[in-house]
Structure 1
């Protein structure tokens, strides 16, 4: 089979995106959502694989900056829209796109590539590790109360039109993006994503509702949600589906969650993407009545090991030599000496003996401070050569708060 891998042209986008839709089930997306992705697609950072006139593979990369431990933002390729036609599986198409893409990311000077995976088993062979996780929370709001901190009653809540409040909500969002590792600084246009509200995707729930939290005339938080009425034998037990809950301080945050849990004719509040250490879990009166499930979220790939490790800071002083395996991006192979602390870091090639051996996949998993290097060592994926090096590095790579990706891409 002869295929052509090339940068996407604007006149090819419709066929390219239609191939992606077929790969993910064949159900066409609503027009508003399709227009958004058309506008956000960066053609010069997207590739298609063509078998004659047929598109048989797709892959793109958004231009992001990702927050890392220490508060810096690092340039990253947000890998997206990856698919291979079912008729062309197991022919090396995915590998060829990953090869082309990571070479491009290196040429662009971006030390990280990140993605969210339809299936988490796919991308480990290309050097991606699970760098952030997300929690699904289902609160039995008929039995659970929010233990609100002082000042919560001073917060004013108001229903507003979601579109009319978009600018105020985005301003709050922008003030929170550096508060955790793994958060995205985005280019203009992305503020449209949380406003998508196609009727065919509500599954019986209400149109998008929005409530803002105010104090002293300033917007200090917001929530966007759907209300899905349900009842059994005339007994209402509706379901609140919280899409966003964002606030600038604990009192505003508690006020929003208390509101969601107190809405009449409902008995469940669901949130599908929350940090795994969400303060909400310490506000609820009965954690056993809050179903919490954890899954993978953002997968992280160090494209330039030295630059990436120098871009973040470290919770405790660290001075270790890593022996890095990276068959897919061989420019990362070899020994790297990392020296750093809370003020900065240096990571250079060295001929010194290794203290720890691991693959680039493990570095991606530990990079944002979610998974511990000690946990990975317990799974046999990190090997300690110098006694004490594992504990030193595991502590240093930690983060006071868990990383979190606020939304998919």
Structure 2
């Protein structure tokens, strides 16, 4: 088996495998736009006897981790032809992806698993899913009675044209800590324009502006086909963000204005959000959970450094069988940066360890769970992802690395 990058002429082979794994198979010629959405620099392929039999894509994104932007490798498009499964193809691809991410300066990774136990064995920790609700548009009618704010305007434009608008909006409001409904786990894409167009070619975007500056954004698809009964006509929001209650209400007012055209609205919301406070006479809502995310630290120093956490020093020993650069002893402590405490990290060389007192030992899945706040420390102890820790240190660790719910509506 050989693991390698692909070249431009092999993009069709990757697309065929992707279609076999995730779509309805077709022998028809595929539009050129499908090929241009594949960036050879992001693809790793497994080759056996000169034939590509498996592949994955590793996208370079930015991700908000506890409010601190990190370089993130988003693993997607993982497939293997059935006749080559159970031969270690995906495991070999993932090991190569870890090295690729390391060389690119990527410190954390995220994916949607086809099998949780498979990626768990590679050091990924399970995180939460996104909550999706389906609400009747009639439950938004109260927003139509709100006066139109003179300082808010509404633009509706093709989603293919908002790549930079959305990225700048997310960056600016993460920096000012005004992004709502939630920012932990949020992914900002670095997709090429071809990739963005391919993904959003059937979607629209509504942008709410105040003094010509975006203050709320939603990307959505609408199906109000005349041959559909009214009950089946729907708007599906894939991403929605706002900066204050006024801008959120203006977004909901926009969607409420479709009441004579569609019946329901599907939208992502963070877990724990009480959406009934937004609605009127909604009754019992239809809701579902997306597939859960899984997360991993690729470079533990980069993953921890700069997190807005105040803590006394901890010294820990880390084991990572797939990323050898994470094996060793590390010390974290907080430095004051302005009004905010941020973590700094030091790695000890073998000659420096000596009789150094270690506060605890951790697996890479355990440290990944701490970084992202996917589980309580007591759960990590029960799984033995953290060991050799006394009760006092455990209490301190729990206060520093509080659990956090991920909200990332962008699927890749």
Report the TM-score when normalising by structure 1. 0.79
* Cα contact 2:128–2:293 (8 A) shared by 1: yes
Distance 2:366 2:291 in 1: 15
Unaligned runs of 5+ in 1: 199-206
Instruction: Indicate conservation of the 8 Å contact 2:139/2:282, yes or no.
Output: no
Determine if contact 1:162/1:195 at 8 Å carries over to the other structure. no
Instruction: Give the whole-Å Cα distance in 2 for the aligned partners of 1:26 and 1:236.
Output: 27
> Out of 10, 17, 25, which is 1:19 matched to?
17
1:212 pairs with 2:207: yes
Distance 1:328 1:164 in 2: 38
1:253 aligns with 2:256: no
What residue is the counterpart of 1:310 in the other structure?
A: 305
Equivalent of residue 104 in structure 2, options 108, 132, 146: 108
Q: What residue in structure 1 maps to residue 196 of structure 2? A: 193
Instruction: Pick which of 289-298 and 80-89 moved more.
Output: 289-298
Unaligned runs of 5+ in 2: none
Q: Which deviates more from structure 2 when the two are superposed, residues 208-217 or residues 10-19? A: 208-217
Q: Tell me the residue number matched to 1:10.
A: 8
CA shift in 2, pair 1:296/1:320, >3 Å: farther
Q: CA deviation at 1:48?
A: 1.3
SS in 1 for 2:395: helix
SS in 2 for 1:263: coil
1:108-157 CA-partner distances (Å, limit 9, x unpaired)? 33322332334434311111123453221222443467789x99745645
From the superposition, tell whether residues 88 and 307 of structure 1 become closer, same or farther in structure 2 (CA, over 3 Å).
same
Which residue in the other structure is 1:79 paired with?
Answer: 75
Whether the aligned pair in 2 keeps the contact of 1:172 and 1:246 (CA below 8 Å) is no
Q: 2:316 is paired with a residue of what secondary structure?
A: strand
Equivalent in the alignment of 2:129? 133
| C-alpha contact 1:129 1:362 (8 A) present in aligned 2 | yes
Which residue among 375, 398, 402 is the counterpart of 1:398? 402
Distance of 1:408 and 1:385 partners within structure 2: 37
d(CA) in 2 for partners of 1:321 and 1:213? 47
Q: Which residue of 2 aligns with 1:31?
A: 31
Q: Classify the secondary structure of the residue corresponding to 1:100.
A: helix
8 Å CA contact 2:135, 2:264 repeated in 1: yes
Q: Which residue of 2 aligns with 1:329?
A: 323
CA distance in 2 between counterparts of 1:92 and 1:235 reads 49
Change (3 A) 1:12 1:304: same
Q: Report the 3-state secondary structure (helix = DSSP H, G, I; strand = E; otherwise coil) of the residue aligned with 1:343.
A: strand
Q: Which of 56, 59, 77 is equivalent to 1:59?
A: 56
Structure 1 runs of 4+ off > 6 angstroms? 144-148, 230-235
Contact 1:170 1:191 in 2 (8 A): no
Q: Distance in 2 between matches of 1:404 and 1:312?
A: 18
Aligned partner of 1:204 in structure 2 is none
Aligned 1:83-98 pairs, distance under 5 A: 83-98=79-94
Shift of 1:304: 2.0
Q: Distance in 1 between matches of 2:387 and 2:148?
A: 48
- The equivalent of 2:333 in structure 1 is 339
Alignment check: 8 A CA contact 2:160 2:200 kept: no
Aligned residue-pair number:
391
Cα offset for 1:386? 1.1
The partner residue of 2:237 within 229, 233, 242 is 242
Shift of 1:103: 2.2
Could you say which residue in structure 2 is the equivalent of 1:355?
359
